[in-house]
Amino acid sequence: MKFMFRVATFLAVTALINAYHECSAASKEPNTLVTAQSSAAPDTPLPADNPFAAPSPLTFHTPAFDKIRLEHYQPAFMAGMQQQLAEMDAIAGQSDTPTFDNTIVELEKSGGILTRVRNVFSNMTSAEKTKDLQNIETELAPLQAAHSDNILLNRKLFARVEKLYETRESLVLNQEQREVLKQHYESFVRAGAKLDEAQQARIRSLNEQLSKLETKFEENLLALSEERSVFIEQVSELDGMSEADIAAAAEGAKARGKDGQYLLEITNTTRVPILSSLNNRETRRRIWEASANRGLGRESGIDNRPLILEIAQLRAERSKLLGFASHAAFKLQNQMAEEPAAARKMLADLIPGVLEKVQKEALDLKAMITETGGTHELEPWDWEYYTEKVRKARFEVDEAAVKPYFELDNVLKNGVFFTMNKLYGIEFRERTDLPIYHPDVRVFDVFDKDGTHFAIYYVDFFKRDTKRGGAWMSSFVDQSHLLHEKPVIVNVLNIPKPAAGEPALISFDNVTTMFHEMGHALHGMFSDVTYPSVSGTATPRDFVEFPSTFEEDWAIQPAVLSNYAKHYKTGEPIPKELLHKVILATKFNQGFDTLEYLAAALLDLEWHTLTSEDIPADAEKFESAALQKYGIDFAPVPPRYRTAYFAHIWSGGYSSSYYAYLWSEVLAADAFAYLQEHGGLTRKNGQRFRDTILSVGGSREPMEAYKEFRGSAPTVEALLKRRGLK
């Protein structure tokens, strides 16, 4: 999962109900002015020796990880919630007529302690989640939900915001201020500020229950990723894997107390990349089934289906209380798509062309099975394996032959950083004096084209048991002129860690993921706004993946590829013929890639357009029926995420919004094609993209920003070409 979205200070708290730390979107609720006893501990000041009591003394208030200990989190959260509620009471209790400064600006400035601890804790519970951290998260989840309710259902506070919104035309506000006021008002209304007291009480209860269930779902997935890992006893069963990968598998098993065996871990998606190289079909089947049957209670006591049904039920009920036909209707109201029908149509319109391409791909794979002496049917665990054979035959591209040209550090410095310098003029300089939260983490100062030090960038590349699946961007500090804050950003990935002493040779998919996550990081680092609630990636969900997907395509531009695709031993550039084939191969298997995505995105919308009366009794049957409804129940190509482990939509903030990746890709492909028509990799193009898209955050309507950049609305033509569908 490639993700990053987070909102600062006050509006960030609203995200705690429906969204996950990394990519959050808001929802909240309840009663009249509620004071601190509802959600926070007794009014005790946070001790000065707690690292969250004051801004960090380190550069740009970078977290003092060397001083942060487990026992600091909970007191900081409790004191932070207490502090912010006191600030809310002070704003609400003013006798002065509401003004933008005495109401909205004060909301934006509130919650200093809570923001500091939340920004660190949210990344830690994804990147380095110990059992102790998990326990704290479980305990805090309902308290944070209640805290958000205490703010957004404060009638006196809402009355001030509503007064400003109703008189907004008479106020002298700039564009950013108008947008900030609008977003604050909508946050209150969407939380239930206009409901009666009985309805608000029910909303509170629903939010508390959902926070617990969503946290439990996340905890289950972390446990499942370890439980469902496959241990191999005989090295012969790993035929096809490289010596380095086998050594890493041996080390992984040893670390789990199974010396002499080999650990093959599943990924967050249904597909598992290692399947492309394993010659043993039975081993492939074991790994695929371990992935695809997660959360169903098979061979394990962890069954996510009851959780899912309850989450869907409660979300549907809450949406109805708020006046929406479904959870999807509620979530998409303030997105670019605006309504579920628009998102569904975009996805469904692609199905005929995608199915046609998938069927052709399947025929190629079946032919390869026959050609290599096989007599079996094409199964899901065969797809990647035979795809790699077809890819190699058609393009003569062997993943094992390509990886030596993609050594991680070289990709980072001479690929990602090189491109960012060419486009934006920025430079990255590694530093080792700042404390880090894990030995694998690296830190870089980021300097602007005029030499100004304007951001700090953390990277955490390697997979480990305490890290959840996927890839994401988070911020430890959000940019804000109001708060005089400069951005401190982290990218987290799950690249397999090499055996000790071995180079990190990575797949081309991981290469593009590095470029993608850098796009999210730039969105945070280039933010140039006054108010923290619209900083960086605080944009609609179906816009936020646009800047990151846009950066992906630079990875395959010859001028960029030739700069970093060099053999890790000899330094020789990747042969031109192989380079050309690598680029061509990126368009290969796009029917599969697109269909598995469409299946997951449509499955998400099907779950979240249900009313509370329509929640099914059997999650697996519902999933099957949903795929049949759209004619995409093609067994060899299952959804990218099946319902029982679909973290994006049950605990990750993308409920009703998984379509957003493709929606954003339309923008990204169109924007990239536009720049190729106007010079490609130039500082002028980079500056235009930075000024109109990356720097404005959520301070203006997304389509307005896009049209200023592009001069017109996007079309789907570039997307179809990008995915090899045209």
pLDDT in tens, 305-360: 999 999 999 999 999 999 999 999 999 999 999 999 999 999 999 999 999 999 99
For the chain, list the domains and their CATH numbers: 2-222 (1.10.1370.40), 229-292 (no CATH), 406-571 (1.10.1370.40)
Kindly report, residue by residue over 473-522, the tens digit of the pLDDT. Answer: 999 999 999 999 999 999 999 999 999 999 999 988 899 999 999 999 99
Neighbours of 94 (CB within 10 A): 14
Task: Give the residue carrying structure tokens 């600091």.
Answer: 72
Backbone torsions φ then ψ of 472, nearest 5 degrees: -160, 165
The pLDDT assigned to 28 comes to: 27
Partners of residue 262 on adjacent β-strands:
232
Residue 393 to residue 469: CA distance in whole angstroms:
32
pTM of the model: 0.85
Which amino acid belongs to residue 452?
T
- DSSP string of 354-408, one letter each residue: HHHHHHHHHHHHHHHHHHTT--S---HHHHHHHHHHHHHHHH---HHHHGGG-BH
Q: What is the pLDDT of residue 468?
A: 86
Q: Which residues are catalytic?
A: 517
Cβ pair 608, 656 in contact under 8 A: yes
At residue 67 the predicted structure's pLDDT band, cuts being 50, 70 and 90, is very high
Comparing 55-69, 674-688, 712-726, the range with the smallest average pLDDT is 712-726
* Nearest in space to 296 (alpha carbons), one of 221, 232, 381, 199: 221
